Homo-oligomer: A and B are copies of this chain.
Amino acid sequence: MWLSSTARQALHAVLCVAVFDDDGPVRVEEIAAATGGPRNYLSKTLHALARAGVLRSTRGPTGGFQLAESPDAISLEQVIAPFDAVGERRCLMGLPSCSDAHPCAIHDRWSSVATVVEKFFRETTVAGLLSGNPRAVNAARNAILTSRRRNRRKSDGSIKRKT
């Protein structure tokens, strides 16, 4: 039950990137340090998010990952979709013939619950997360910042455009 490990990493990574939106790209190394995930596997995950149109990647020095769109245009479903099919509802017992027309014994009761879950992922946006809990957002910022401090990034603080 619940999300796969990769989908969780993806959500966490997108939050890390979103927190630094308008401050230039965030590197894989920094995200890996902040989330504790494996670096190269994370790279693959982030690349998939870029292909999905959620992130934008730039290579070379000063490179990294940024949001591809405005935070309020990115739903959690978009972030999770490449790794975990949260959109397509399936029969709780795996019956292939189960549908609204030919419901299994659990279908009706489960449908109303599944609808709530799907609605959550579809309607919750990255912007919603950012505005929801300032303390958690600051914690994410700090995780990235300490990673930068450790590695003495040349461009520390100089790329910032907004704050």
Contact = CB atoms under 8 A, between A and B. Distances in A.
Interface stretch (A46-54, A55-63, A133-141): A133-141
A17 to B, nearest CB: 13
Contacts of A104: 133, 136
Nearest to A86: B1
Interface string A100-128: 00011111111001001100100010001
A151 to B, nearest CB: 23
Contact of A120 (B110, B132, B137, B140): B110
B92 A8 contact: yes
B120 A105 contact: no
A1 B85 contact: yes
A159 interface: no
Contacts of A106: 11, 76, 124, 129, 132
A106 B114 CA distance: 19
22 contacts: A1-B3, A1-B80, A1-B84, A1-B85, A2-B90, A9-B94, A11-B93, A103-B136, A104-B136, A105-B129, A105-B132, A105-B137, A105-B140, A107-B136, A108-B132, A108-B133, A109-B120, A109-B124, A110-B120, A113-B116, A113-B117, A116-B116
Given A105-B137, A109-B120, 20 more contacts: A1-B3, A1-B7, A1-B86, A2-B92, A3-B92, A11-B92, A11-B93, A12-B95, A103-B133, A105-B129, A105-B133, A105-B136, A105-B140, A106-B132, A107-B133, A108-B132, A109-B132, A113-B117, A116-B116, A116-B117
